[in-house]
Structure 1
Amino acid sequence: MKALIVDDESRVRKAIRLLVNWEEHGIHEIREADGGNKAIEMMNEYKPQLVITDMMMDAGNGMELTAWIERFSKTCKFIVISGHDDFEYMRHTVQHGGIDYILKPIDADIINSAVATAVKAWLAEEHSRQIQLEQSIMLNEIKPVHDEKLLSRLIDDVANINTTVQRLIKNRVIPDGITDVQLVILQFNNADQPLLERFGNDVDLLLFAIENICHECIGGNANGIAFKYWGSFEQIILLLWDHKVDAAFITSQINQTMHTLFSRKFHFGTTKLDKFPTSLAKQYDEAIAALDHRNLLDVASYLHDASEPLLRLQHHADYSFADVREEWRVALLSGNQHLIEKCSTSWLQQFVNHGYLSPHLLQNWLEDMLSFRNSLLQEISSNQKNELLAMLEQQDTAVPPPSINDYSIKIHDWRQWVLQFNLNLSQAITNSLQNKSRSFSDIVSYIELHYNEELTLQEIADTFQISREYISRKFKQDYAISFTEYLTSFRLNKAKALLRNRNLKLNQIAEMVGIPDIKYFSKVFKKHEGVTPNEYRKTLMN
């Protein structure tokens, strides 16, 4: 704490310095003034918490000083020390909030008691002031959030919309008497890392800055309001009342300011004026549709209306992923980099040639590509699909696709990302097929070692963690027969070798080759060799 001693006699000021136990009272800085005028001049800069003053001084008396303190330094406490036992002085001291009126000569105990009372009163009031300040700060932080949530409810909570409007009017967030409204959505690109870094990667702080710029351009709540929409943390909504401001002019002003400050221009989706507040939910959907279907190839337009003639172009953009699906499948399965590059880089040219490409179309292509990748991995290896997919998704995370909500589309970046997407997928397929080729060789060896046991296709599939379909398909490709036919043929070849041994009975041979049922063994043998096992053995004897 800081104290100021005011008296026109230096010996009195010195006595006060010596008599008061400053450290004990928590006062660590003491200054002096030789009159009321000098004290007032000092207080503006020094701002003491305690003033100890005389009443009778030539250069500004104590009555003037204490009156000034009450008016201009309300938190400061003061003690009067006077050589005059004057009732008017005492009454003035009490009326202006003085702690005590002490007569000279100064008693150490009395002045220390008065200082202790003053310090205690100041600390109690300061504690109360801090609580009030914290509550005020908290209220100032909560109120804008509360207002934003109420405004967002105008769109999200149609059932209680009239109640919400009345609360907003009562809180003076919006004016009374609004009849029509134009809704405008400012779409923020949350992947704009350079802009985010300028705000310490604090999205809320960035949106707050953009929101304030919007407020300034709107020109006050009488014209409209801008707020962060709580249904999406990437959007700021502007509500423009009646015919007071023009959306095209306002959004142009916002973009001029944003370009000057941050070298950015945002895209806005909007609709026509409609009834307030009942039309807001419909207007929001229409404005979102306008943004989703805006033409990314039109680099000059930033305000997009749902009724724009250009929007009709989407009905003619019938080029879809289904048109290239088989081409991509062949290229990826071939592993041919030239084919992969061709299919990966030519697809966007179709949209460029047509003159229309929207965020909606890009999102559909992305979803179709992910679905295609999933089904292709399922076709190649159902058992390894999840493992391969997890690896590819990790690569997607490391290098995500360009933002669909970017301010302008970067065709080159999209081509490069899709090319890398397909190269990664093709490499995963190639590795999987190579692993399967090695696994198939192991399967054949396994059959040759365990042919005399009860073998099933499912058992082998489970053992090698490969789908039954792949094993069957591979036997057809490599041996032109099924798995069962291959196993039966191998067993019968072993049986023919064992039939040379006269000491082995047929039932023993049948069991040794994994067909313990002698009747079934004989039936299968004759079907494949054209003779029974006994007849075959006799031919060997001749």
Structure 2
Amino acid sequence: MKALIVDDEARVRKAVRLLVDWEAHQIDEILEAGNGNEAIQLIRKDKPALVIMDMMMESGNGIELMTWVNEFAGSTKFIVVSGHNDFDFVRQTVRHGGIDYILKPIEADMINHAVSKAVAAWRSEEEERSHRQRQSIRLNEIKPIYGEKLLSALIDDPINAEASLRRLTGDGIIAKDAETSRLILVQTDSGNNPLLQRFGGDNELLYYAIVNICNEFLHQPNKGIAFRYWGGPPEIAIILWNPEESIVELISRINQGIYRTLQFRMHFGISTAGAFPGQLPAQRTEAAETLLRRNLLRHEDYCHFPAAGEDNKAAGSRESNPSVSGTPLNFADVQEDWRMAVISGNPEGLSDAAQHWTHELSRRGVVTPQMLNSWKADALLFRSRLVREALGSEADSALAELELDDKQHPAPLPSGYSFSLFAWRDWSLALMRSLSRVILVRQIKERNPITDIVKYIEQNYPSDLSLQEVAGKFYVSREYVSRRFKQEYGINFSDYISSVRIEKAKLLLQNPHLKLSQISEMVGFHDVKYFSKVFKKQVGQTPKDYRAELN
């Protein structure tokens, strides 16, 4: 708490400082001013709770200061300390709400008692102000929600719809002459991270901002109302009553306002016109279905109507019903490609299957949120069936692992603000990769992989085969491979590869036209001297001597 001492005599200001027990009154900052004008500047800047002031000062006297405080700093309490026992001064002090009028010389008990009363009065009023402010904030928080609940009741609570309408028209929220209406849903996207970050991750704050922007274009003149719809998933709804102007033009202006503020444009699902308020439930369903059927490949369309007709033509709309744009792609059209790619585990095959899907979607020219929802459900059902078919009793644990992957790498939202074929391609590729990996790993555990590893070595012996590479390819540990080779062949992994290479070299040495350096390279030895050393160690003679014996 701050206090200000105002007196044109420095010794008086010093005396007040010494006489008042500031700490006892919980006053931790004391300011000083030499006249009334200087005091006004300090009060404006620092807003002290208490002013202790003289009456007779040059450049702004006490009465002028009291008058200013009473008018512009009404919460500030003041005490007058004066050398003049003047009834008019006392009367002016009382009139302007002064706590006390103390005569000089100042007595410690008297001024401390006055300060105590002033501080108590200030604290009491401050508590009351805070209480009123909290009530006001709470009321301002409740009133919009209450209004939104009433508006939502017009849509999903037919029993209370009539009472809600009376209250809304009585409060001036809905025009009394409203007879017809359209209902519009604004596309929301809880996964739009760049936009959410601007609102600290608070979806409610984002919805509040969008509703306010919409209402700026609706309130003057009284065309309609935007509000948060509480009857289902998070939605922003707009009710337009007695609509006459072009809906597309109005939505374009609203969207431009949203873009100026948020740097995003929204999609709007627009119902046909109908009787108000009786048709609102059907209109809300119609608007929601329109958004689900919008063609995501037509990025420039933001106004979406349920069907082409005279009503929409009058509104100036462009038809956005995607059913006229081509034959939709079914999951069954690519399911076998996905199955073969997953079972093979070949990276190129997996990538081709994912690319083929998105290519077909783009080529056919129609992608809707409704289709993507269906695609996602079909893909997950395909995954479940393939896992159960391939793994039997191991299927449940495999599916649990895959569902954990889903949480870490969720599919793009079909109903987002923007659409990317690349994002869905990446999602389908990730789904197939994880599915292939889970199936192959569990199948390998059920059989002895050493047989496959031996076949792999027989086919790839000229390459630089490392224990790490081979173990990774067959989803087993290096220790496992090393241990099993010792058990089954009595030698370690690297010696086994060398033995295969030497056996292949023996066959090649039968051809007299091949040089030793050529044979060395052909069987995987890049140094002919090292090849000769290993050959002699295993066969007991050099490659040259071995060839000589053959001839």
Letter in 1 for 2:241: W
Show the counterpart of 2:406: 396
- Of 85-94 and 281-290, the range deviating more from structure 2: 85-94
TM-score of the superposition, structure 2-length normalised?
Answer: 0.71
1:371 and 2:384 matched = no
What is the CA distance between 1:399 and its match in structure 2? 2.3
Structure 1 residues 372, 67: CA separation in 2 closer, same or farther (over 3 Å shift)? same
Q: Which residue identity does 2:209 align to in structure 1?
A: A
Q: Residue 436 of structure 2 corresponds to which residue in structure 1?
A: 426
Q: Is the partner of 2:237 in helix, strand or coil?
A: strand
Which stretch has the larger CA shift, 93-102 or 430-439?
Answer: 430-439
Whole-Å separation in 2 of the counterparts to 1:9 and 1:426: 90
* AA in 2 matched with 1:354: R
Partner Cα separation in structure 1 for residue 329 and residue 254 of structure 2: 36
Q: Deviations over 1:126-164 (max 9, x none)?
A: 122222222323333333333333333332323211222
Q: CA RMSD of the aligned region, Å? A: 3.2
Q: Read off the aligned partner of 2:47 and give its amino acid letter.
A: K
Measure the CA separation in 2 of the matches of 1:299 and 1:139: 41
Paired position in structure 1 for 2:269: 269
CA contact (8 A) 1:223 1:245 kept: no
**Cα distance in 1, alignment partners of residues 286 and 271 from structure 2:** 7
Q: Which of 181-190 and 222-231 deviates more? A: 222-231
Shift in Å, 1:415: 2.6
Stretches of structure 1 that go unaligned for 5 or more consecutive residues are: 442-542
* 1:350/1:25 CA distance change after superposition, 3 Å: closer
- Cα distance in 1 for partners of 2:369, 2:399 equals 25
Task: Measure, in 1, the Cα distance between the counterparts of 2:41 and 2:427.
Answer: 70
Q: Describe how 1:434-449 pairs up with structure 2 within 5 A.
A: 434-437=444-447
Aligned to 2:286: 286
Distance apart, 1:342 and its partner CA: 4.8
CA drift of 1:258 comes to 4.1
Distance 1:197 1:233, change over 3 A: farther
Question: Residue 531 of structure 1 corresponds to which residue in structure 2?
Answer: none
Can you list the C-alpha shifts for 1:144-185, whole angstroms capped at 9, x where unaligned? Answer: 333333333332323211222333345554454433332221
Alpha-carbon separation, structure 1, partners of 2:288 and 2:30: 65
Paired residues of 2:293 and 2:322 also in contact (CA < 8 A): no
- Residue segments in structure 2 that go unaligned for 5+ positions in a row: 309-318, 452-551
Larger radius of gyration: 1
**C-alpha contact (below 8 Å) 1:51/1:77 kept by paired residues:** yes
The amino acid of 1:213's aligned partner reads I
Residue matched to 2:119: 119
**Distance across 1 between alignment mates of 2:243 and 2:138:** 36
**1:244-275 deviation per Cα after TM superposition (whole angstroms, max 9, x unaligned):** 76432233234334444554322111123333
266-275 or 308-317, which deviates more: 308-317
The equivalent of 2:92 in structure 1 is: 92
Cα 1:268–1:310 shift into 2, 3 Å: closer
Residues 317, 54 of structure 1: alpha-carbon distance in 2 compared, 3 angstrom cutoff? same
Query: Helix, strand or coil for the counterpart of 2:5?
Result: strand
Query: Are 1:189 and 2:189 counterparts?
Result: yes
* Residue of structure 1 in register with 2:20 after alignment: 20
Does the 8 Å CA contact 1:223/1:240 hold for their aligned counterparts? Answer: yes
Aligned twin of 1:166: 166
Q: What's the counterpart of residue 201 of structure 1?
A: 201
Match of 1:248 in 2: 248
Q: Any residues of structure 2 matched to 1:142-541 within 5 Å, and which?
A: 142-220=142-220, 222-231=222-231, 234-243=234-243, 246-308=246-308, 309-311=319-321, 313=323, 317=327, 319-326=329-336, 328-329=338-339, 332-333=342-343, 340-437=350-447
CA distance in 2 between counterparts of 1:339 and 1:151 reads 53
2:387 partner SS: helix
Deviates more, 1:332-341 or 1:305-314: 332-341
Q: Deviations over 1:8-55 (max 9, x none)?
A: 445444443333333332333334444444433443224222222333
Give the conservation status (yes or no) of the 8 Å contact 2:293–2:369: yes
Distance in 2 (alpha carbons) for counterparts of 1:218 and 1:276 = 17
CA distance in 1, matches of 2:436, 2:47: 75
Shift of 1:385: 1.5
CA distance in 2, matches of 1:200, 1:78: 43
Distance 1:19 1:351, change over 3 A: closer
C-alpha spacing 1:314/1:428, structure 2 compared with 1 (3 Å): farther
Q: Summarize the Cα distance change of 1:248–1:12 in structure 2 as closer, same or farther, 3 Å threshold.
A: same
CA contact (8 A) 1:187 1:266 kept: yes
In the TM superposition, residue 306 of structure 1 has moved relative to its aligned partner by 0.9
- Please state whether the residue corresponding to 2:105 is helix, strand or coil: coil
Is the contact made by 2:328 and 2:366 (CA closer than 8 Å) also made in structure 1? no
Partner in structure 1 of residue 40 of structure 2: 40
Whole-Å separation in 1 of the counterparts to 2:444 and 2:9: 103
Question: Does the residue aligned with 1:191 lie in a helix, a strand or coil?
Answer: coil
Check conservation: 1:293, 1:314, Cα contact below 8 A. Answer: no
In the alignment, is the contact (CA less than 8 A) between 1:174 and 1:221 conserved in 2? no
Residue of structure 1 in register with 2:69 after alignment: 69
Partner of 1:139: 139
Aligned partner of residue 144 in structure 2, secondary structure = helix
Q: Return the alpha-carbon distance in structure 2 between the equivalents of residues 179 and 245 of structure 1.
A: 16
For the residue of structure 2 that corresponds to 1:181, the secondary structure is strand
Which shifted more, 107-116 or 200-209? 200-209
Equivalent pair of 2:326/2:365 in contact (CA under 8 Å): no
C-alpha deviation, 1:280, in angstroms: 1.9
Deviates more, 1:318-327 or 1:134-143: 318-327
Residue identity matched to 1:45: K
Greater alpha carbon shift after TM alignment, 77-86 vs 359-368:
77-86
Deviations 1:110-138 (A, max 9, x none): 22211111111111211222222223233
For the 8 Å contact 1:55–1:61, the answer to whether it is kept is yes
Give the total of aligned pairs. 440
Aligned 8 A contact 1:36 1:59 in 2: yes
State the one-letter code of the partner of 2:20.
Answer: V
TM-score when scaled to structure 1? Answer: 0.72
SS in 2 for 1:218: coil
Amino acid of the structure 2 residue aligned with 1:413: A
Are the counterparts in 1 of residues 292 and 369 from structure 2 also a CA contact under 8 Å? yes
Change in CA separation of 1:282 and 1:69 when aligned onto 2, cut-off 3 Å: same
Structure 1 residue identity aligned to 2:377: E
Structure 1 residues 314-362: Cα deviation after superposition (integer angstroms, max 9, x where no partner) = 6964642234445544554455666655544333444433322211111
Deviations 1:213-240 (A, max 9, x none): 3233435583322223334565322223
Counterpart code for 1:162: E
AA aligned opposite 1:394: L
CA shift for structure 1 position 291 = 0.6
In the alignment, the residues of structure 1 paired with residue 164 and residue 273 of structure 2 have an alpha-carbon distance, to the nearest angstrom, of 20
Distance 1:87 1:345, change over 3 A: same
Counterparts of 2:92 and 2:160 in 1: how far apart (Å)? 59
State the shift of 1:363 in Å. Answer: 1.0
Are the equivalent residues in 1 in contact too, given 2:187–2:417 (CA < 8 A)?
no
Alpha-carbon distance in structure 2 between the residues aligned to 1:344 and 1:36:
80
Distance 2:304 2:206 in 1: 23
Tell me the distance in 2 between the aligned counterparts of 1:336 and 1:52. Answer: 87
Distance across 2 between alignment mates of 1:102 and 1:116? 14
Preserved CA contact (<8 Å) 1:290 1:305:
yes
